[in-house]
Structure 1
Amino acid sequence: MKPTPEGLTLSQSRREKALDVKIVTWKENDPDDPRNWGFGIKWFRTVIVSYTCFVVAMGSSLVVMDMEKSAAEFNVSIDVIHLTVAVFVFGFGIGPLLFSPLSEIFGRRPIIVVSMGLYFIFTFPSAFAQNAATLVVGRAIAGLAASAPMTVIGGCIADMWEARERGWPMAAFSGTLFVGPCLGPIIAGYLTVEGWRANYYLLLGLAGSATLAPYLFLPETYAVVLLRRRAIALRKETGDEGFMTTQERFRKPFAEVMKTSLIRPLQLLVTEPIIFLFSLYLSLIYALLYLLFFAIPVVFQEVHHWSRGSTGLAFIAVLLGMLGCFATLIVWQSKYVAAGKPNAPPEARLPSMMVGSITLPIGFFILAWCTYEDVHWIGAAIGCAIFGFSMIGVYVGANSYIVDAFPEWASSAMAAKTLISRLCGGAIPMFVDRMYHSRMGPRWSSCLLAFISLAMMPIPFVFFKYGARIRAASKRSSE
């Protein structure tokens, strides 16, 4: 059917004239607009959604210490037990392709609550598994179910905070994705004394609390859904069918919306240089993080002869590095605010990533050449701390840049980068142990990772200089 100049078909245009369409949108200082909520309320709800990410992230690493016990109990090779980490992280990457578009149709809150509820339910099979197959399958489904917060929360934060305010909330969200995995081995190092199932029992409790928290304290944040509810209420109150949102006016069939939304993250990944290159860099960061879960026991147990429980404490160095980076984010945020009023360009988010890209290979070179029995362990710990600092700097800068560069596509953009980064991170457990015990040894294995980090280092500098030009060439990116 021939379209009108406004993009509507002739039948739609005639219908709208008959209805006297009234577009429902936010009023000035509208109290129902999440961006007009009080500062304290926004932070409280940011903490709630970030907590769900923290629990999911911790679930990926809480089970890594002393996998030999479960392998011995089920009489399988250690590689089979390594799959419990690999398939869980793979689920993080695949799940958002479904959950992210659903959140843009049904809203953020129901997707988060359902996702965390399924995470809680499917942790039970692993906790009470009587064979290795049940353990692995339970972890695979739990990882898939728990994947929603990893991408939907980025959209929640974009819903609640203006771009100029988004630095700290995004840092809090990003930090949970790394603090969680690092706390897991610290706790598990001593918890495994009670048996390997104790880690899963703790995980069950955390997953239950992370299901209840958003259910009780998180209202809907997605403007499209909130305005649709308002339009429905107005139609019911007035009997006037002319009240509708912009999205309702140009409504597409559900099947078409789902098809487009499922494909969109892959389209962004393939067609947008920003999404592709930043996803590539974040894939390296995730790969290095999950590599540490297996490399640190080699360095501190086998080389420096620490006990199993004490080895988990080595992750404190990574956490200290992260905290150091969070302290510097005060500087980055103040520079970002000063870079533009009222709104700074997305490139103003990149300085923390630029610094992190420089220190990242330095940390791994230090870790590599302090992996000698006669070199004090503090050297390797310093390398781990520098990695923690670098990881947060790169991740916060990259995440914030992606959200600012694609504000209307935030969830899909996050789903795209999550897919590739989690697939890379999940692959690590299947070969890292062999790599560190190969002829390369722990020193040259760490050096290889440092050289890869060096090759990635120019990415934030290129976008800092040419990012505005690259965004201008994109049909989806912000001006």
Structure 2
Amino acid sequence: MTTPQSDLEKNEIHSSGSPSQEDADTRPTNSFEVALEPQDDPKSLPLWRRWITALIINAGAICVTGASSMAAVAEVGISQTFHVSTEVATLAVTLFVIGLGIGPLLVGPLAAVYGQRPIYLASFTLMFAFTWPVAFSNSIAVHMIFRFLCGFSGSAFLSIGGGTISDLFTDEEVGTPMAAYTISTFIGPVLTPIFSGFIFQNAGWRWLYRVLIIWEFVQTLLLLLVPETTIGIILKKKAVRLRKTTGDTRYYAPVETEKTNVLRSIRIGMWHILELIIYDRMALLLDIWLSLILGILYLVFQVFPIIFGQLHGFNAEDTGLTFLGVGVGLAIAMVSQIFWNR
């Protein structure tokens, strides 16, 4: 029994090999391998939708990296609430950043297996859930453990965000959106101290994380608008659709023929990262440079409250505004991108 087929399905079948009986005996073995058609390519999406997707990814990166520095403003309150030293309260930032560093080793390979969209949704859903114990815990141990888990969960936006941007834009277009994504990872840590000082001074440190919970919830809803951009997963879905509509089980995507599992993907992904650092001098130098810049940036979060708060008598609101200088520098860097594009 046959089912009627739409023009789109016929085009998909034709592109991968017509299933007609007269060609069945002469068709080569790989003629049932689905191919990427122009309408399947994420780069063929309307420009406005590609930019909205990029902005949502950038907003997620701002939220994740902003959550890392938010704890710096709360250190005084955490120290007083849990009766611990300032050095222990500083671990709220340190453990979050450690989670951000470890997470990409696992998240990147998982995205290749399951696709980027599920990873984004799982990332923010878990981060949203793990922030609740941070905001309402009565134990410093629980607070610190879940700060690490929040950083680990949110690390997806630092490991696969750039891949999504490159999937959406051509080589000629990708410069500006990629620069915007890169800048967003630096804007987050600078943006949150500016308004966190006002929240902390007027409502206490727990409200910092309550606001973060609301922010994460809204961001999770926005992520529902992000399409899948991983080519292998797109072809896999196309093959499943063809098998369902035609009844021919011979259609397949290249990713379905690969003998892989999650643990093997993670092992290969970790090796590729190490291999890139060892053999690609440019990648190594960029990693060292970014490590230095991020080290200085996070040092600022600890030093500015001491310099302006303790030495110059600034309150929490005024100390937060001192980070505007870094924000101005980032804005200038983003504007200058139109010149580097040439």
What residue in structure 2 maps to residue 296 of structure 1? Answer: 304
C-alpha deviation, 1:150, in angstroms: 1.1
What residue in structure 1 maps to residue 264 of structure 2? Answer: 256
Contact 1:62–1:187, Cα closer than 8 Å, also in 2 = no
Match of residue 87, structure 1, among 88, 95, 104? 95
Measure the CA separation in 2 of the matches of 1:39 and 1:18.
38
What residue in structure 2 maps to residue 244 of structure 1? Answer: 252
Aligned AA (1:69): G
SS at match of 2:228: coil
What residue in structure 1 maps to residue 33 of structure 2? Answer: 23
What residue in structure 2 maps to residue 203 of structure 1? Answer: 212
Measure the CA separation in 1 of the matches of 2:243 and 2:268.
29
- The percent of aligned pairs where both chains have the same amino acid is 32
Measure the CA separation in 2 of the matches of 1:71 and 1:298.
15
1:274 maps onto 2:259 in alignment: no
- Provide the alpha-carbon RMSD of the alignment: 1.8
Contact 1:87–1:139, Cα closer than 8 Å, also in 2 = yes
**Residues 305-358 of structure 1, C-alpha deviation per residue, up to 9 Å, x if partnerless?**
33332111111111111111211111112x1xxxxxxxxxxxxxxxxxxxxxxx
Contact 2:200–2:316, Cα closer than 8 Å, also in 1 = no
Contact 2:105–2:266, Cα closer than 8 Å, also in 1 = no
Measure the CA separation in 2 of the matches of 1:85 and 1:258.
27
**Residues 143-187 of structure 1, C-alpha deviation per residue, up to 9 Å, x if partnerless?**
111111111111111111111111111122112211111011111
C-alpha deviation, 1:269, in angstroms: 2.2
C-alpha deviation, 1:80, in angstroms: 1.1
What residue in structure 1 maps to residue 21 of structure 2? Answer: none
**Residues 69-90 of structure 1, C-alpha deviation per residue, up to 9 Å, x if partnerless?**
2212211111111000000011
Q: Could you say which structure has the greater relative contact order, defined with CA pairs below 8 angstroms and 6 or more residues apart?
A: 2
Q: TM-score, normalised by structure 1?
A: 0.63
What residue in structure 2 maps to residue 52 of structure 1? Answer: 60
Match of residue 178, structure 2, among 170, 173, 178? 170
Contact 1:119–1:145, Cα closer than 8 Å, also in 2 = yes
What residue in structure 1 maps to residue 233 of structure 2? Answer: 225
**Residues 228-254 of structure 1, C-alpha deviation per residue, up to 9 Å, x if partnerless?**
1111222233333442233334x1231
C-alpha deviation, 1:203, in angstroms: 0.8
Aligned AA (1:59): A
1:144 maps onto 2:137 in alignment: no
What residue in structure 2 maps to residue 286 of structure 1? Answer: 294
Q: TM-score, normalised by structure 2?
A: 0.87
Aligned length: 315
Q: 1:20 to 1:61 in 2, by over 3 A?
A: closer
Aligned AA (1:196): W
SS at match of 2:172: helix
Match of residue 136, structure 2, among 128, 139, 144? 128
C-alpha deviation, 1:303, in angstroms: 4.0
1:444-459 to 2 correspondence within 5 Å? none
Contact 1:80–1:132, Cα closer than 8 Å, also in 2 = no
Which blocks of at least 5 consecutive residues in structure 2 are unaligned? Answer: 1-26
**Residues 402-421 of structure 1, C-alpha deviation per residue, up to 9 Å, x if partnerless?**
xxxxxxxxxxxxxxxxxxxx
**Residues 218-273 of structure 1, C-alpha deviation per residue, up to 9 Å, x if partnerless?**
12111110011111222233333442233334x12314334312332223223322
Contact 1:120–1:207, Cα closer than 8 Å, also in 2 = yes
Measure the CA separation in 2 of the matches of 1:204 and 1:224.
33
Which blocks of at least 5 consecutive residues in structure 1 are unaligned? Answer: 1-16, 336-479
